[in-house]
DNA sequence: TCGTATATTGTTATAATATAACGTTATGTA
DNA sequence: TACATAACGTTATATTATAACAATATACGA
């Protein structure tokens, strides 16, 4: 069986829903909202999310246990992700900065470990919240 | 009341336990292990962990929902953290690299957001696991 | 087109992680 | 002492995620 090219029914439904949101969504909020489309159980959502994360269509914001659609067209595989997170309004933005990604992808320390993947989360106040 | 200088009883017990482990610990595993010292409920552990994270004595490994003692003496506040995580043996090491921390602390993109904090997690295979 | 392997689905139950809400006790400082 | 804040203890519950099992769908080589 070759590597999957097309998304399955459930995967499409979940991706669709996450793409329409412009903020990270919680798994159970996704579940609630796709129930009218036939996904009844948490596992159906989690399985779709797992796959979508694996192929890079969706990223998980680890510090928030939430999922957001990839906005980064060249992010075919989700192995190098960076986000900014506003600690006031919780707005999350995917950072697409080639210098940063180059720097981190090539980063090596003295541990003898070669990194194949990273996830970076920046926290602070977004423009709006800073000016309040 | 001035800013807390000394740890409370529960905070000491939890920190002590986490420091003795050389790997990240899960909250409920900490709970189980400190029950003989009088902490009976999850909340007692979580409250101590929250405080210890806040003052930088402990870091949370977000992708693993686990807690590890800070090995970085100059990491007084836990606002700039980086870890390497072996995806095979789950060994976690705190990265202490001044170039990296300088680069990330000064990082700015075009979002108008000034970051006050970051957390970076690298994934890969550690030396041992790579040679298997 | 049949056989086989893998991916996906559906379902119920349950595990693992974390917080709400309440009242009490301790501690620092004016 | 009086007040404010921090920490504690306790019960209940919310939130996040996976185990286990059986069925169906899809890709692809023989």
As a whole number of angstroms, the distance between CA B82 and CA A120 comes to 9
**Taking 50 as the threshold, does the pLDDT of residue B1 lie above it?**
no
Q: How far is the CA of B31 from the C1' of D17 (A)?
A: 20
pLDDT of residue A27: 98
pLDDT of residue A132: 75
**Closest nucleotide to B65's CA, by C1' atom?**
C17
**CB of residue B64 closer than 7 A to nucleic acid strand D?**
no
Q: How confident is the model at residue B112 (pLDDT cuts 50, 70, 90)?
A: confident
pLDDT of residue B107: 94
- Please write down the long-range contacts of B14-18, taking CB distance under 8 Å and 24 or more positions apart: B14/B39, B14/B45, B14/B48, B14/B49, B14/B52, B15/B48, B15/B52, B15/B57, B15/B58, B15/B69, B18/B52, B18/B58, B18/B67, B18/B68, B18/B69
Cβ atoms of B12 and B55 within 8 Å: the answer is: no
Contact B84 A125 (CB under 8 A): no
**Closest nucleotide to A64's CA, by C1' atom?**
D16
Instruction: State pLDDT tens for residues A25-64.
Output: 999 999 999 999 999 999 999 999 999 999 999 999 999 9
List, in order of start, the domains of chain A with CATH numbers: 9-69 (1.10.10.10), 80-130 (3.30.1490.190)
pLDDT of residue A91: 95
pLDDT of residue A40: 97
Residues of chain A in contact with residue B114, where contact means CB-CB under 8 angstroms, are 124-125, 130
């Amino acid at each position: 069986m070759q590597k999957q090219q097309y998304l399955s029914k459930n995967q499409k439904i979940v991706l669709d829903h996450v793409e329409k949101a412009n903020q990270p969504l919680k798994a159970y909020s996704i579940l609630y909202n796709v129930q009218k489309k036939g996904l009844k159980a948490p596992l159906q959502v989690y399985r779709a999310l797992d796959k979508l994360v694996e192929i890079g269509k969706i990223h998980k914001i680890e510090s928030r246990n939430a999922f957001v659609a990839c906005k980064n067209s060249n992010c075919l595989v989700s192995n190098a992700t960076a986000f900014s997170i506003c600690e006031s309004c919780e707005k999350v933005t995917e950072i697409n900065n080639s210098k940063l990604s180059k720097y981190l992808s090539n980063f090596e320390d003295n541990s003898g470990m070669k990194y194949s993947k990273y996830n970076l989360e920046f926290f602070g106040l977004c423009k709006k919240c800073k000016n309040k």
